[in-house]
Chains A and B, each alone.
Chain A
Amino acid sequence: MNAAITPSVALIEPEHEVARRPSFKSRALHNRTFMAGAVMITTIVALVLLAPVIGRYSPVGQDLLHTLSGPSALHWLGTDELGRDTWSRLLYGGRTDLQVGVLAVIFPFCFGVFIGTVCGYFGGRLDSTVMRIVDVVLAFPFYVLIIALVFFVGVGTHGIYIAFALTDWVVYARMTRSGTMVARTLDWVAAAEGGGLSRARVLWRHILPNTVTQAIVYSMSDIVIVILAVVTLGYLGLGIQPPAPDWGSMITDGQNFLQTDQWMAIMPGVAVVFTGIALSLLGDGLADILRPE
């Protein structure tokens, strides 16, 4: 049999030229949405990382002689009621919020994708059990659940991590499960299985790369959702605890002075919106780039 596998010259046709698909990098560079999001998010990340350099003041350092001063050369965005520099607090607050946003999404992403893939591929009793749990989690209003959990495990960042770990995976699980169920019926999966590859290999090496992209795209907007949740919880006093800076608590603090010192509440609000837009653009662009055709 091996000896028989030799080129059949008569069959080779000179016209078969293979059209080249641009590389991931070049597709990314030519995608305006993605690039806009990437530039914005890079700017935000650079700013918050450089907070110690460009922050000029400590985010918690009080200066009771210069409270509620408007924007000036000394304090670019002014100071709050305790004389803390708003610009510095914005940068350090962004550090916390972005970090919590990214970290809180990692576990739900991994666990949800894993469980969704397994359920979608094998189906059966495991699948129906998991899907009932998913239904139960989804049946609770999201914020009520999170607030209840934060009360239970305590305020602060670890409360947010645990709350998201418990609830957010269901979105990824459902998404990946339906993608896997579709893929399972396609001929290329039949061909991989028929080629004698193990189920584990078909699942993780063939199906997952095709289904995970949707989850990756969603995770971008999910980071925004987490940041918004952190901000909301911060606003309610259940999130990041003072004096550590965070956009949510800054908005809460600022709303008392909306009549006189609008900057205090507006600037962290703008930061949240800007980050949200950046991540959404990034997600939309990624969806285009990661599509196989």
Chain B
Amino acid sequence: MADALIEVDNLYVSFAAEHGRLLRAVDGVTFQVAEGEVIGLVGESGCGKTTIAKCIAGRIAPTSGTVRFEGRELGLKRAAQDRRAIQMVFQDPYSSLNPRMTIRQVLSELLRVHRLVARVGIEERCVQLMALVGLPRDALDGLPSQFSGGQRQRIAIARALAVEPRVIIADEPVSALDVSVQATILRLFEDLRSRLGLTVVFISHNLAVVRHLSDRLAVMYLGRIVEEGDRESVFRDPRHPYTRALLASAPRLHQVELVRPMVKGEPPSPIDIPTGCSFHPRCPRAAEVCSSDKPRLERVSTSAAHLAACHFRDETSPEAVQGQ
């Protein structure tokens, strides 16, 4: 993929844990994001998806590996230009806004500092930004405490957009919101993407949300990508047993009966990553080879753009057989 806007190459991030051990939050991750694409990063808590987001946004430094933007390597220290280009939207709209600044103060400060519009145009642009996220003009005078969760998330998005970014990294942007307002934020992301041509890295544990929004999908487990591909091929024909388990466990409105748990146990701690395939202790398909050989993320036989890190990636899933 020559025209990738963001390239994450062999990224490792580890933190010091108790007793001098290492917590490997991100354990060798490589992926690219093309300009204008929405990539969904899916996985359960502790799988390393937020750590990757922080590396791309320049909040933490990788232990090894690189993050490139437009072919240039980006580290912790970045030019204001590069920092502006990649903006984050956080999960908790209650801690992501400064409680003592009005919305106008927040937005106009960014516009002024980066000289994005002429001084006289600041007010107008603030109003435009509010309109862009579907909030009325008066909202500019409000303090964060005056807004509901959904409104705050819109404000956080307006703040990210104020600096005219190329990439938005959204870290579980709807998980903290009530279902009835989640949809408005999802709509907003779709709308912004089509109107502004934004590239979005969308992080979520909710497969339904990701399926709805993203073009491409990367499923993570214990710091690694276990499956990657375009949305439909991953959802219709998942090749990694973990992806299948996630898909089977996703809450469904019209589920007729109880879902039989497909995997046993819980994810081990990232301090103690199992040998071989890290999923093998929980995997229903595990064989002897799985505990000794670490599977690489490789193409599945049917599609060049669909990768899975499983020794049995070319065994078609029972669901897919049924569907055909």
Contact = CB atoms under 8 A, between A and B. Distances in A.
Is there any pair of Cβ atoms, one from A and one from B, under 8 angstroms apart in the complex? Answer: yes
Interface of A: 1-2, 4-8, 10-13, 16, 18-21, 186-188, 190-198, 201, 205-206, 209-210, 292-293
Contact of B132 (A7, A18, A186, A206): A7
A34 B110 CA distance: 36
5 contacts: A5-B128, A7-B132, A12-B136, A190-B59, A198-B113
A20 to B, nearest CB: 7
B146 interface: yes
Task: Label chain B's interface by main secondary structure.
Answer: helix
Q: Report the 3 A-B pairs with minimum CB-CB distance, sorted nearest first.
A: A11-B134, A7-B131, A292-B99
Nearest to A205: B109
A292 B143 contact: yes
A196 B162 CA distance: 11
B113 A196 contact: yes
The listed residue with most B CB atoms (<10 A of its CB), out of A1, A7, A11, is A11
B134 A21 contact: no
Interface in B77-101: 80, 83-84, 86-88, 90, 92, 95-101
A18 B57 contact: no
The listed residue with most A CB atoms (<10 A of its CB), out of B58, B87, B134, B184, is B134
A184 to B, nearest CB: 12
B143 A21 contact: yes
Contact of B96 (A6, A8, A188, A205): A188
Contact of B187 (A2, A4, A11, A21): A11
Contacts of B161: 5
Nearest to B169: A194
Contacts of B134: 8, 11-13, 16
Task: Label chain A's interface by main secondary structure.
Answer: loop
A191 B129 contact: no
Interface stretch (B19-27, B188-196, B243-251): B188-196
Contacts of A16: 134-136, 139, 151
Contacts of B92: 187
A187 B59 contact: no
Contacts of B90: 187, 190-191
Nearest to A208: B100
B164 interface: yes
Contacts of B144: 292
A197 B113 contact: yes
Given A5-B128, A196-B80, A187 B191 contact: no
Contact of A21 (B83, B95, B145, B162): B145
Given A1-B196, A7-B132, A16-B151, A191 B96 contact: yes
B87 A194 contact: yes
B146 A206 contact: no
Interface of B: 57-59, 80, 83-84, 86-88, 90, 92, 95-101, 109-110, 113-114, 125, 128-129, 131-136, 138-139, 141-147, 151, 156, 159-164, 184, 187-188, 191, 195-197
Given A186-B95, A195-B162, A293-B145, 9 more contacts: A4-B195, A4-B197, A12-B134, A12-B136, A20-B146, A187-B92, A194-B57, A195-B87, A196-B110
A1 B164 contact: yes
A128 B281 CA distance: 44
A7 B113 CA distance: 24
B314 to A, nearest CB: 42
B129 A5 contact: yes
A5 B138 CA distance: 19
A18 B154 CA distance: 13
The listed residue with most B CB atoms (<10 A of its CB), out of A194, A197, A292, is A194
A16 B90 CA distance: 22
Nearest to B187: A11
B142 A18 contact: yes
A187 B96 contact: yes
B58 A292 contact: no
Contacts of A2: 164
A195 B163 contact: yes
A102 B233 CA distance: 71
Contacts of B162: 195
B149 to A, nearest CB: 13
Contacts of A201: 109, 113
B95 A188 contact: yes
A196 B109 CA distance: 11
Contacts of A6: 128, 131-132
Contact of B98 (A10, A18, A20, A206): A206
B159 A191 contact: yes
Contact of B114 (A12, A18, A196, A209): A196
A12 B127 CA distance: 13
Nearest to A9: B131
A8 B131 contact: yes
